[in-house]
């Protein structure tokens, strides 16, 4: 194989506020080289290399240093961030992951499908105006937050708390973390209080649900401490909400650009699952995943030093013509697996839920909202990190 000499690799300024990770610039760089150099670390641009490095044993998850990188080294947010299962490695990671996994098994989630369908229908029926909606506030937010409520056994009418506090904590993933810290820590305090009340409730009367299972693991052994229990619950509330809300908005964006595929989905709701995969291939909310080299190693002819940050670009990988041809968005195609849920030891914990709830929502939306198009001013998060719409006004032809 040919190896690109280091000085010939493209450069990407990923700290530039106008940098777009899905831009032609990135796609052109991908056509020149499988990786690019950036302000800090290297960016991996092609499917094969992204897919292998996601799971590479010489790399660890790379976000643990994010608060420190932004000058936040102590306090409630720094402590909570350090507690994330995502930011743990080795046996400590594995113990937490083993404790959380059973609550997210595909078998358990299968039983929730009728509730996801009923929820989607209720929200569409509740649109304020016929033929119009603001998709984020009228569908994506309540849907994502109420799915979390269903999963955790919370009262569904309390969804605005989940939505509001999670959205505020989401500011921590942006480069204004330090300025936003007081707001973020207030929201975190509010979710801690919420988690504590929930734990107290289940300790009083155990149920056959996810929170009770964690409470039991905490009570019956030293496998899960009190602090780990509340940290984990707050992480699950936050981690499940933001991503699903954003990914639903991105799905609408993609389908509005491909009206034939939207009509097909309305006619063939059984394609819901494949629609989710195809959307996440070309328009994933998690635009990049970060890893860090544990030791010096050589990969595909490139020497990677210990401590190097490795950014894996998910959209660039998902649209790589080497893996997917020049083919268009097609919800009937058989594809290689996309990388939108990350991979390896840190593969998304909630992917069965996300896949299931979105694959129910999208066909229902397609059936009820014919010929959707943006009608008004849309607003978007920056096209890096975790992206999605803030506001997405849509006009459509209503259908039963």
Partner 1 sequence: MRITVDLAKCQDHGQCAIAAPAVFQMDEEGRLVYEGNPDESYRFEVEEAADVCPVQAILIED
Residues at the contact surface with partner 1, assessed by CB under 8 A: 51, 55-57, 93-94, 97-98, 101-102, 105-107, 337, 341, 343-345, 347, 351
The H helix count followed by the E strand count for the chain is 18, 13
CB of residue 126 to partner 1, shortest distance in Å:
34
CB of residue 29 to partner 1, shortest distance in Å:
26
CB of residue 70 to partner 1, shortest distance in Å:
30
Which residue is it, tokens 């719409």? 389
Q: How many CB atoms lie within 10 A of CB 90?
A: 9
Closer to partner 1 by Cβ: residue 55 or 203:
55
Closer to partner 1 by Cβ: residue 86 or 169:
86
Q: How many CB atoms lie within 10 A of CB 220?
A: 9
Tokens linked to 1 = 């194989």
CA–CA separation, 83 and 96 (whole Å): 10
Closer to partner 1 by Cβ: residue 55 or 132:
55
Adjacent-strand bridge partners of 208: none
CB of residue 101 to partner 1, shortest distance in Å:
5
CA proximity to 312, closest of 278, 336, 277, 347: 347
Cα separations (Å) of 191 from 175, 230, 232, 290, 319? 22, 9, 11, 26, 37
Closer to partner 1 by Cβ: residue 69 or 94:
94
Closer to partner 1 by Cβ: residue 106 or 179:
106
CB of residue 89 to partner 1, shortest distance in Å:
12
CB of residue 287 to partner 1, shortest distance in Å:
20
CA–CA separation, 205 and 5 (whole Å): 63
Closer to partner 1 by Cβ: residue 262 or 341:
341
Which residue is it, tokens 């030791």? 295
């Amino acid at each position: 194989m040919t190896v690109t000499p280091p000085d010939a690799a493209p450069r990407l300024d990923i700290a530039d506020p106008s940098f777009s990770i899905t831009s032609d610039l990135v796609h052109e760089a991908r056509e020149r080289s499988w990786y690019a150099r950036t302000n800090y670390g290297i960016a991996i641009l092609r499917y094969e290399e992204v897919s292998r490095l996601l799971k590479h044993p010489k790399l660890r998850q790379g976000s643990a240093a994010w608060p420190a990188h932004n000058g936040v080294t102590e306090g409630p947010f720094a402590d909570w961030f350090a507690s994330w299962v995502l930011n743990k490695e080795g046996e400590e990671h594995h113990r937490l992951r083993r404790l959380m996994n059973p609550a997210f098994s595909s078998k358990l989630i299968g039983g929730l499908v009728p509730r996801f369908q009923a929820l989607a229908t209720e929200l569409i029926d509740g649109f304020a105006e016929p033929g119009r909606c603001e998709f984020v506030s009228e569908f994506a937010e309540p849907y994502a937050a109420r799915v979390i409520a269903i999963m955790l056994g919370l009262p569904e009418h309390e969804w605005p708390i989940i939505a509001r506090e999670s959205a505020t904590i989401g500011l921590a993933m942006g480069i204004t973390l330090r300025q936003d810290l007081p707001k973020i820590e207030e929201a975190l305090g509010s979710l801690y209080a919420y988690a504590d009340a929930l734990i107290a409730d289940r300790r009083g009367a155990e149920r056959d649900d996810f929170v009770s299972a964690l409470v039991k693991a905490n009570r019956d052994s030293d496998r899960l401490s009190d602090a780990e229990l509340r940290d984990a619950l707050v992480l699950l509330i936050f981690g499940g909400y933001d991503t699903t809300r954003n990914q639903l908005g991105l799905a609408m964006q993609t389908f509005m650009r491909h009206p034939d595929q939207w009509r097909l989905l309305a006619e063939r709701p059984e394609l819901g699952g494949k629609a989710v995969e195809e959307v996440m291939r070309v328009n994933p909310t998690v635009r990049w995943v970060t890893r860090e080299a544990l030791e010096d190693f050589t990969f595909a002819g490139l020497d990677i030093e210990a401590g190097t940050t490795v950014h894996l670009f998910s959209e660039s990988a998902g649209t790589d013509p080497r893996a997917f041809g020049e083919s268009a968005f097609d919800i009937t195609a058989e594809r290689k697996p996309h990388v939108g849920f990350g991979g390896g030891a840190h593969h998304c914990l909630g992917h069965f839920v996300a896949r299931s709830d979105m694959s129910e929502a999208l066909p229902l939306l397609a059936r009820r909202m014919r010929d959707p198009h943006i009608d008004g001013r849309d607003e978007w998060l920056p096209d890096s990190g975790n992206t999605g719409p803030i506001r997405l006004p849509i006009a459509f032809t209503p259908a039963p």
